[in-house]
Amino acid sequence: MIGSSTASRLTLRTVALAYLGVLLIAPVGLIFYRTFEHGLSAPFEAMTTPDALHAFQLTLITVAIAVPLNAIFGVGCALILVRQRFRGRGLINAVIDLPFAISPVVIGLSLILVYGQTGWFGDWLAEHGIRIIFSTPGIVMACIFVSLPFTVREVMPVLQEIGTEQEQAASTLGANPWQTFWRVTLPSIRWGVGYGVVLTTARVLGEFGAVTIVSGNITGQTQTLPLFVESQYRNFNITGAYAAAIVLALVAFATLFAMNRFKPKEGT
């Protein structure tokens, strides 16, 4: 077996650790140090300004709408893709992955071209007094778009694995499809759904590119937390930028923790 000699193993380990240290660990460590080097009060004050609180609130609203919608869609879509055979199934299966591969800026632009003032539905929406772009619905749509695949992709393999025997047994015993879903299917896929929801939440909380395009980035109105980080930094309010960045980084660490807890048991 290679890499078994101590010298070569130590060399490989050192190179890997040095690379991760320079690229990942040192920068993340430094931003925590910079934020808290003069105590807790400055970052705390920066996070309790009206604009910061509003950004916080808008981000939470976005999560509260986008995450449940994508969870429901994810479970439904996974059920259809795994359990049914129909024309266009291959197409849907391929389309699901697109949001991961497309640039967030392109996603933002695509939404503007449909739902913006001069977009396809622009006139109709204006007539009915509905505002999507430069407003909360647009932000929510952008977040749904970018985080669409997570739940589907986590639930599909679980569904494939559990098979249909238990569901068939339930319906033989007289359960209607709805009961079968709630009592049999959902309990067996709950970890997959949970894992998908964790990943979706993290992505929605932190989405920057697509949201910056569709939101108009108006301070105190359409500014989510990641946009608040950028605008504070550009306005040379470094304390505010760091404080908000740390809040988002802590959420990222919580996500990592949850990922390791809920991860379907495979390998390390």
Partner 1 sequence: MVMLYLSAIVLLPLAAILAESTSEGTGTFWSQVTGPQAVAALKLTVICSLIVVVINAVTGTLIAWVLVRDEFRGKKLLNAIIDLPFALPTIVAGITLLTLYGNESPVGIDVAFTRVAVVFALLFVTLPFVVRAVQPVLLELDHEVEEAAASLGASGPTIFRRVVFPNLLPGLLAGVALAFARALGEFGSLVLISGNIPFQTEVASVLIRGQIENNNMAGAAAVSVVLLVASLVLVGCVTLLQRWGSRRDR
Tokens 């309010």 -> residue: 237
Please report which residue ranges of 50-148 form alpha helices under DSSP H: 50-83, 89-96, 98-101, 104-115, 122-127, 136-147
Exactly one of 92, 130, 186, 218 binds partner 1 (CB under 8 A); that residue is 92
Nearer to partner 1, 37 or 165 (CB): 37
Stretch binding partner 1 (CB under 8 A), from 41-49, 157-165, 175-183, 237-245: 237-245
Provide, rounded to whole angstroms, the least separation between the CB of residue 204 and partner 1: 10
Nearest Cα neighbor of 203 from 109, 99, 116, 110 is 99
Identity of the residue, 8 or 168, whose beta carbon is nearer to partner 1 in the bound complex? 8
| Rounded CA separation 112/131 (Å) | 11
Nearer to partner 1, 80 or 162 (CB): 80
The residue behind tokens 């991860």 is: 263
Q: Give the Cα separation of 255 and 142 in Å (integer).
A: 21
Interaction between residue 1 and partner 1 (CB under 8 A):
yes
Q: Would you say 25 or 60 has its CB closer to partner 1?
A: 25
267 near partner 1 (CB under 8 A): yes
Q: Which is nearer to partner 1, 9 or 183 (CB)?
A: 9
| 166-225 residues near partner 1, rule: CB under 8 A | 202, 205-209, 212-213
| 118-147 residues near partner 1, rule: CB under 8 A | 118-120, 141, 144-145
Evaluated on CA atoms 94, 100, 103, 104, the torsion sign reads: positive
Binder to partner 1 among 53, 105, 126, 130 (CB under 8 A)?
105
Asked if residue 5 binds partner 1 (CB under 8 A), the reply is yes
Find the Cα–Cα–Cα–Cα dihedral 251, 252, 258, 263, rounded to 10°: 160
Is there binding between residue 230 and partner 1 (CB under 8 A)?
yes
Cβ–Cβ contacts within 10 Å for residue 103, how many?
A: 10
Tell which residue, 26, 58, 25, 104, has the closest CA to residue 244.
58
- Which residues in 37-56 contact partner 1 (CB under 8 A)? none
Q: Cβ 108 to partner 1, closest distance in Å? A: 8
Are 193 and 154 a contacting pair, CB within 8 Å?
Answer: yes
CB of 187 to partner 1, least distance (A): 22
Residue of 42, 54, 56, 109 that binds partner 1 (CB under 8 A) = 109
